[in-house]
Amino acid sequence: MLSIGKNAVRELLDSDKKINKLYLLKGAHDLDRIVESARGKGARVEFVDKRVLDKLAGELRHQGVIAESEDFKYCTVDDLLAKARERGEKVFVLLLDGVEDPHNLGSILRAAECAGAHGVIIPSRRSASVNETVVRISAGAANHIPVAKVGNINDAIRMLKDEFVNVYCADMGGESIYETRLDGDVAIVIGSEGFGVKELTAKLCDKAVSLPQRGKVNSLNASVACGIICYEVVRQRYFR
């Protein structure tokens, strides 16, 4: 797994993940702290030409630094619940029902991590997985927030409900998010970019919630909507 760019590499270095190698642009003078931290974690540091970094980064901007680490490790839904219990906090997780754009997944992981969510659940099929693009777009948040990959989102919803977690799906026809109690154990289902939450999945949820619309465009980008919902959870839990 490659972490590409300064922010992604810094967050990787602050995580507990093992780093195998750090690639740095020859002649770079503003990366001394990154080099020191990488060497402190036992990483091999290699200074290379720009063309080497360009090839590794592909279409992503590398800013003169790329780190190579162990492959991303997914966890289980049980792990996410255990994390909340260990912290003595009410459960707060996100389930993504077919989010296939890695840019959206990266943005969602960033918002979820910043909002203190205990993790994100994604399906193993018809969904973006955590890769270099996701790590880059998440600004390194993917190195800190647990992601559970499951065979079936609906089964994950049933499991959460068995643990007395309230599961709400984001849907334009739902109750306003600002009139919904979000300070208990809660999971939010975010639908795909083009089709939203699947019908059966929506039926399994306790209810649908929505963001009030005042403009002419009838929907928000999945990651934008997710970020707003995440911070309504934060507001209700910590600022009421």
With cut-offs at 50, 70 and 90, classify the pLDDT of residue 156: very high
- For residues 10 and 115, state if they share a domain: no
In the block, tokens 């089964």 appear at 155
Contacts for 16 with CB less than 8 Å, ≥ 6 apart: none
Per-residue model confidence (pLDDT) at position 181: 95
Residue type, 83: K
Q: What is the C-alpha to C-alpha distance for residues 97 and 122, in angstroms, rounded to an integer?
A: 7
- For residues 115 and 185, state if they share a domain: yes
- Indicate if the pLDDT at residue 214 is higher than 90: no
- Residue numbers of the domain that contains 148: 77-238
CATH of the domain at 59: 3.30.1330.30
Beta-strand runs (E) in the chain: 2-4, 19-25, 44-48, 65-69, 92-97, 119-123, 147-150, 166-176, 186-191, 207-210
Per-residue model confidence (pLDDT) at position 194: 78
- For residues 91 and 45, state if they share a domain: no
**Number of structural domains, the chain?**
2
- For residues 55 and 84, state if they share a domain: no
Residue type, 63: Q
CATH of the domain at 118: 3.40.1280.10
- For residues 167 and 230, state if they share a domain: yes
- For residues 199 and 116, state if they share a domain: yes
- For residues 125 and 164, state if they share a domain: yes
Q: Of 38, 69, 100, at which residue does a domain stop? A: 69
- For residues 16 and 135, state if they share a domain: no
With cut-offs at 50, 70 and 90, classify the pLDDT of residue 215: confident
In the block, tokens 């300064």 appear at 6
Q: Which two tokens stand for residue 202?
A: 């929506």
- For residues 54 and 91, state if they share a domain: no
Per-residue model confidence (pLDDT) at position 60: 86
Residues of 124-150 as b/e, b for ≥16 C-beta within 10 angstroms? eeebbebebbbbbbbbbbbbbbbbbbb
CA 134 to chain centroid, in Å, comes to: 8
For residues 7 and 34, is the Cβ–Cβ distance under 8 A? no
pLDDT in tens, 12-44: 899 888 889 999 999 877 788 888 888 888 889
Q: Of 52, 69, 86, at which residue does a domain stop? A: 69
For residues 146 and 75, is the Cβ–Cβ distance under 8 A? yes
